[in-house]
A and B are shown apart, each in its own frame.
Chain A
């Protein structure tokens, strides 16, 4: 079956701009979660959506937002970009959510964002 698809794979933005990243989960999966990975901070949980509702949220400022559509596809938006937002943004999907038992979580390849 097709895996988790993230677009775009690479992008460069200027400080102060905004960016939207897209994630298509595995067919049938209703949970989509987003993560930021940087060399300094490692992998950090941003938020999770389940059936179009934000279910869990990490400790990131309000500039980071997301949404999920009825077909489970999800988008993540970062407004007023800062240099420190340069990172690999990963999306993962699962059937029941990260906090559910008996669940396998599948990650996409990520979107590399560079802010200049």
Chain B
């Protein structure tokens, strides 16, 4: 069964305390692994798409990596403004059917 699982569900960090968020996926015919940031009451903000194992992308304090089974979002020296829910999604296609499945997210709180 196609599935995307994120861990931990919630994470509290002190400002400057680096950590990683995990996204495990079992999606056939992976077309892309997507990371989003969502603030309360707003639509998700696109961060990255990763397409193949070994790929890495960076944006400011965020770095996303991808293996054949999971993706990590590394947050280096986070600041309070990084507090948000981080969502990952996997898009895949088999036999002409496309699936786009989201994880339930990691709620990140960065304390000053």
Contacts and interface: CB of A to CB of B under 8 A. Distances in A.
Interface residues of A, number: 23
A42 to B, nearest CB: 5
A99 B49 CA distance: 10
Contact of A107 (B43, B91, B103, B104): B43
B34 interface: yes
A42 B105 contact: yes
A98 interface: yes
A42 B102 contact: yes
Contact of B91 (A43, A98, A106): A98
A56 B34 CA distance: 17
16 contacts: A33-B100, A42-B103, A43-B44, A43-B87, A45-B102, A48-B100, A55-B98, A58-B99, A58-B100, A98-B32, A99-B32, A101-B51, A104-B46, A107-B36, A107-B46, A108-B43
